[in-house]
Structure 1
Amino acid sequence: MSRYLKEFTGAMALYLGLLVASLILLVHFAEASPWVRVPLALMPIIPCGLMCWVVVREMRRIDELQLRIQFEALGFAFAATALSTFSYGFLQNVGLPQISWLMIWPLMGAMWILGLMIARRRYR
């Protein structure tokens, strides 16, 4: 397993652990003041920052072709996520239910993977 995958997997595992802990603690401290609940709710953000750092470090390590592929994939992910979220926002005007903002990152991640598949195919 590459160094990047080890680091990313570790950050993701930490994220999942802190997410579960955060949700459990929020139930336990349901009646506590916001000064207690806000830090508990934000606990999963710490490993998210770590994941960002891991991704940026990997981008600095890869060669120019791989960097170009990543750049194209991220550009696609940015545009596709914007188009998807705007479209769904307009569809809410005709009665579709609101969705959580927490769904945006998984959508962007999926679009990044799709963009990678397209860009890698292009440079084959």
Structure 2
Amino acid sequence: MTDRTHFIIFMTAVVAHVALVFATRVILDGSEDAMWRFPVALAPMSTALLLLLLGVSQFRRWADELDRRIMLEALVISFWGTLVVTSAYGSLQRAGLPDLNWLWVSTLMVVLWSIGLAVAKRRYR
């Protein structure tokens, strides 16, 4: 598969994922008692899994040793940062802060991974 074909498939999956996220939000509004709401809520995960598989396969194809080291350091920063922030917030919830939606954890991981990439790239460039 060429890089262009891979990019087109990847972007199609991104668009499908975003569309499914918005569609599930619209469909699930007002359907608190319906049994089908659980599979509908999980529908965007099918495209997320496709994106993950495409991203990993593409990365393995073009990444050299330095790129892999940078990615590993970014993931380490994301993992430990997420662990510290979620543990701290869990303690603060016991002190009275409101519960947060679990989707914030994945958002935090992506933000910390992006910061980790910037830090690692700066270190090695």
Q: TM-score range by the shorter chain?
A: 0.7 to 0.9
Task: Count matched residues.
Answer: 122
In the TM superposition, what whole-angstrom CA distance separates every residue of 1:13-66 from its partner, at most 9, and x where no partner exists?
2111001111222236x16631x2111111111111012112211331211110
> Quick check: 1:55 aligned with 2:55?
yes
Write the distance in 1 (CA, Å) between the matches of 2:8 and 2:69: 23
What is the one-letter code of the residue matched to 2:71?
Q
Write the distance in 2 (CA, Å) between the matches of 1:38 and 1:51: 21
Write the distance in 2 (CA, Å) between the matches of 1:95 and 1:104: 19
Per the normalisation by structure 2, the TM-score is 0.86
Residue matched to 2:74: 73
What is the one-letter code of the residue matched to 1:111?
L
RMSD: 2.1
Shift of 1:9: 3.6
Q: Which runs of 4+ in 1 moved over 6 A?
A: 1-4
- Taking a change above 3 Å as real, the CA distance of residues 12 and 71 of structure 1, as seen in their structure-2 partners, is same
Write the distance in 1 (CA, Å) between the matches of 2:110 and 2:32: 35
Residue matched to 2:41: 41
Q: Name the % identity.
A: 37
| Unaligned stretches of 5+ residues in structure 2 | none
